[in-house]
Amino acid sequence: MKTKVKIYGLDCPNCARNLQNEINKLDGVSNASIEFVKNSLTFESEQPELALTKIISLTKQLEPQAKISKIEQNHKKSFVIDLVCLLVGVGLGVFIFFCPLPSWAYWTIYVLAAILLGYKTYYKAIKLLFKGIINENLLITISVIGASIISEHMEGLMVIALYSTGKIFENMAVNKSRKSIEKLAQMQPEYANLLLRGKETKVSPEQVKKGSTILVKAGEKVPIDGVILKGTSLINNQSLTGESVPVLKQVGDEILSGGILLDGTLEIKTTNLYKDSAISKIMNLVENANENKSKTETFISKITRWYTLGVVVLACLVFAVVLAVTNNLSTAFYRGLIFLVVSCPCAFAISVPLSYFSGLGNASKNGVLIKGSNFLDACSGLKLVAFDKTGTLTTGNFEIKHIAAEKGFTSQDVLYYAALGEQNSIHPLAKAVVEANKKELKKVADFKEISGKGLEYSLNNKTYFVGRKNENLKATIIEVFENNNLIGTIELADTIKPTSIDAIKKLKEMNIKSVLLSGDNLETAKSVAKQLGINEVKASLLPEQKYDYLNNCKNNKIKVGYVGDGINDAPSLAVANVGFSMGINGVPASIEASDVVVVDDNPQKIATAIKISKYTRKIVWQNIILSAVVKLTFLTLGALGVTRMLAAVFADVGVTLLAILNSLRALHYNPNKKLKSQIKSQVKIKGKNFKK
């Protein structure tokens, strides 16, 4: 059984990683994973309560300041204690530096200052050392003790003071990122107003059954997906789709959970259980997004396990070389300590996962749910994006243009026999046919679907086929056969989404090729492609042919994305380097098979995902290169005796803070700046102004 809890108080990613490794050694615990940035711990166990008890006990030993809880906690108290200890410790250090004191008083205050400034660091270093774990806490502890031994007392205090200050700033920056993501959790509705026999009752959303009637008032969140039975209101869907302009909803419109009513009152008939509603799906995707890590993040995670041990070995080597050259024990020891301080892996360990975390959070805010940093990374390398047509680039809302009936049959007969078969289908064409039919539909026998062709059924000892046998038809046409004799055709028309043209334009601006893969006939597909500006069209394709096309692209080393929304798109979504499913309330199979879910069916969001991906990846490599260059520079200067320990500390803490601040840019990057500048700052509807 998989269990997820909250863990607070961990000071750094390495601490989290070391604790994670030790938890995985416990009996009855497997696949334990700590997400430092998300304050979360997940593990698997057949006896979760017993396993959690063991985990809490182990955590108290290795990370006594850390707390594990099943609910959110506020840890401002811990922050205040750390800040007070830091200020008092620095104050004591300044006091003994400027005031002449007896030796006993000097050493008493010095030791007290050093303890206040780094008691957590020393404690963890010793605890982990007994477990055979060497990390940056040990590096700093050795540096402080070493500086004290060679009478560099003030430098020893400054090392731990600057390190602790850096930790405080790190936590502040990470918490800022956490709070931005935690705003998504605020989308979750706390209650639903259930209407039973005209009486309103406030209940938990989980208690509302499908088909129930709920009441949503101005200022409240829509708790469950549904259809509006009564009322008209403006809905703020910014938390769902990233769009700041309110949407007008009225009787008969579908409405997703998570939106906020700006005015009026709505009666809604629920079409899903809460667990199947949009808001629940979004939260599940966001919660699990960090389980799939990018290659870069995984590599950094693996290398930091051995990094610290390697640093200690190299520091000893520096000590030996300098001692051999200078024949001065104090100088050799001092330069070895500088090497330890500069080499702390914090800049790498925190900035890379924080960058991806920020990128995933930014995508979520823009209505694009990416299932992991590996898929976020993959988006940046796409060279070709293939699109399904119906429901992806078009609305999928078909209308019947014309019905042609053969001799002996009326147009109503043709429509009726088509609807008898299509009543069991969820295809958009089927929906249009069934809705247009006015006759009562009977149950049919021997129903079966013929992949890529249509469907077949029996009625009154006759066999009917509904679909397409003639591949040369130049429009979207359904043919109806009775005992292999054509009895009529139904011509339907679809409309292109207003956002589709801009979606293709944005991909072209990024030098990404677009291809239309359609099951429709060539003439219809070409017509849509021409309107959108898509140059390559593949028409009359079966699902397996779409799969083969994408697989062939991958075999030719072309990184390809696929965008679709139906059951027949699931294989293509799975085989593509990145699969994009359209709509959080789309077909479950397509959402499951995809790597990215576009919440609001807007194809423009494909470009949004790719832009965020490219920007995030750029920041990740900026942080890696910056950290590596600065550390290598100061390691060399320290070994040569050009810089002192304080400069080394500034270099380590400074580059870590710069990398963290740079990572947060991925959270605030606006991929749609040009688009949003074109939207009016106010929307006036029903005499009301709604500002952005």
Which residues are tagged catalytic?
Answer: 388
Give the list of residues 6+ apart from residue 84 with CB closer than 8 angstroms, or none: none
Q: Alpha carbon of 564 to those of 159, 242, 586, 594, 602: distances in Å? A: 55, 21, 10, 9, 12
User: Which DSSP string do the residues of 329-341 spell out, in sequence order?
Assistant: HHHHHHHHHHHHH
Residue 347 — φ and ψ, nearest 5°? -55, -45
Beta bridge partners of 455: 449, 466
How does strand 476-482 pair with strand 384-387?
Answer: unpaired
DSSP H or E segment with residue 429: helix 428-436
Under 8 Å between Cβ of 155 and 147: yes
Tokens in use for 300? Answer: 């950094």
Q: How far apart are CA 203 and CA 49, in angstroms?
A: 29
Q: Alpha carbon of 173 to those of 36, 167, 289: distances in Å? A: 13, 10, 21
Is 476 exposed, middle or buried, given 0-12, 13-18 or 19+ CB atoms closer than 10 A?
buried
Under 8 Å between Cβ of 550 and 386: yes
Q: How far apart are CA 643 and CA 15, in angstroms?
A: 29
Q: How far apart are CA 634 and CA 625, in angstroms?
A: 14
Lateral strand order in the sheet of 67-69 = 30-35, 40-44, 2-8, 67-69
H helices of 533-568, where? 543-555
Q: How far apart are CA 638 and CA 632, in angstroms?
A: 10
Integer-rounded Cα Rg, in Å, for the chain is 32
- Strands of 271-374, DSSP E: 368-370
Beta bridge partners of 30: 44
Under 8 Å between Cβ of 519 and 478: no
Give the list of residues 6+ apart from residue 59 with CB closer than 8 angstroms, or none: 7, 19, 23, 66, 68
Under 8 Å between Cβ of 599 and 586: no
